[in-house]
Amino acid sequence: MAQIDDDDAARQARSDAARKAGVQARNEKAFEEAKAARAAAAAAEEAAEEAAEKAAADAAAKKAAEKKAAAKKADLEVDGKWGPATTKALQAVLGVKVDGKFGPASTKALQKKLKVEADGVFGPQSKKALQKHLDVTADGEVGPQTVKALQKRLNAGTF
């Protein structure tokens, strides 16, 4: 009888140990799952914060660009005559010295914007590129149609 009691006690001890091991394994698994969930939540929160910061930066950049564009709007009479006022407005947009004289520096800046060879000479290639940029007939002659389109774009701040 003592042998049976010892066997029952040993079996009970093994059963208790197995139960404890199972509980411990489930607890460890639940702990790891909770840890992973906290890490995922932290990563999601960090990503949301980064997205919010990027959105705020994008909005600020857009606002600055709009403000800059508004500051570069001209108030020209759209008369098709390229005079000092049109040149000054164009120079302001191109970021060169604003003196009303369309010289090599202004021409080079315009050529760079139009993505043609920046040689400082406002020749047929530059004139046609300007006309294409303004969506007018590209005949290489900068006449009233081209100048009016330029003046309209400068007034709109969309050059």
**Do 93 and 156 contact (CB within 8 A), yes or no?**
no
Res. 127: pLDDT tops 60: yes
Euclidean distance between CA atoms 146 and 149, whole angstroms:
5
Burial state string for 98-124 with b = 16 or more CB within 10 A and e = fewer than 16: eeeebeeebbbbbbebbebebeeebee
* Closest by Cα among 25, 147, 156, 154 to 90: 154
What pLDDT digit, counting tens, does each position of 29-61 carry?
Answer: 887 888 888 888 888 888 888 888 888 777 777
pLDDT top residue among 20 and 104: 104
